[in-house]
Amino acid sequence: MRAVTINSLGDDVSANIIVEHDWPMPSPAAGEVLVRTEASALNHLDIWVGRGLPGAADFPRISGSDGCGRIESVGEGVDEAWVGKRVLLNAAVRHLDADHPDVKPADSALHMIGETLPGTHAEYFKAPAGNVLDIGDADPEQAAAFSLSFLTGWRMLMSRARLKADQHVLITGIGGGVALSCLAICRWLGCTTIVTSRHEWKLERARELGADHVVHDTNEDWSGLVRSITGKRGVDVCVDSIGMAVHQACLSSLARGGTFVTCGATSGPGATTDLVRIFWNQLSILGSTMGDMDEFREVVALHMSGHLQPVIDSVHTVDDAPAAWKRLESGDQFGKVVLRWD
């Protein structure tokens, strides 16, 4: 089968992208389905894997955690009625801890398709049957662009921050998939949104998508501007995936009792925080990543009903895959970068 592989470890991941035309085809094990890919989409995880994080060692390898396609075959124990259905993947596969008499098992761990497991950037991919949803005649490119970023945003805002309709939300780094998904969810819920970016053209695009206020990030503390927008009160919720470079500004932008939710740290993990502000203002600092199948069903239902739609930056053919990675690595994208497999 055709597959897009990261051929070797390196900082410039796009230079190591190879389109293979004779890659071994996977077979579904018991409880799994084999999907013929129609569209897959890139995430920053596709870059981290190519740079050896968070532990990738074996190359060449197939990344990709967003995938949509039709089920080609099923493994033992899976109903044949799945065959031919167009499905959307939740790449977070639950893995229960092994029992041990001296250790209380954790709730569960997650293994990511596209990180520790072979990913979706191939003509076929396999997944547990419990990790796919039948999406009928939905557009496969839109669906692939929707899944992981909106699931991540939904968990951050709804499950972790318990967002309410009358709240103010700060979204950093608008233009990335998760940030744009958070903007869409906040608009659907009727929240007031403030977005940041280093690029004025991205802020203008965000205004066109309905952002209420914009803040130009010039590498200086912009929390004062955020507080002035809110009448010095601050925001109720801040969602961030940038990390170190904006962490203090995010905390300083929060209202008393506010919540900071992080799902990433693209600028680095080593942030200096302000414990006095945290305890004095009774702030909540929450981590969040991906989401379970109940959350996936909730947010996909809103996509299927037309309430939530992804922003697509560009669609690339499989043979143009290196350019897709280059686009993502440049930071110039606004929305999701998609590979078309038909």
Alpha carbons 220 and 243: distance in angstroms, whole number: 15
Domains 3-137+311-340 and 151-287 agree in fold: no
Strand partners, 192: 168
8-state DSSP, 121: S
Q: Which two tokens stand for residue 171?
A: 């979204």
Contact 253, 223 (CB under 8 A): yes
Tens-level pLDDT at each residue, the chain (342 residues)? 999 999 999 999 999 999 999 999 999 999 999 999 999 999 999 999 999 876 656 899 999 999 999 999 999 999 999 999 999 999 998 765 555 666 665 655 678 899 989 999 999 999 999 999 999 999 999 999 999 999 999 999 999 999 999 999 999 999 999 999 999 999 999 999 999 999 999 999 999 999 999 999 998 999 999 999 999 999 999 999 999 999 999 999 999 999 999 998 888 888 889 999 999 999 999 999 889 999 999 999 999 999 999 999 999 999 999 999 999 999 899 999 999 998
> What is the pLDDT at residue 32?
97
Name the pTM for this structure.
Answer: 0.92
Specify the pLDDT at position 111: 81
Q: For the chain, what are the domain ranges?
A: 3-137+311-340, 151-287
Helix, strand or coil for residue 57? coil
Alpha-carbon span 316 to 130, nearest angstrom: 29
Report the CATH fold assignment for 151-287.
Rossmann fold (3.40.50)
CA distance 240 to 63: 24
pLDDT of residue 342: 84
- CATH architecture of the region 3-137+311-340: Alpha-Beta Complex (3.90)
Q: Which amino acid does the sequence have at 238?
A: C
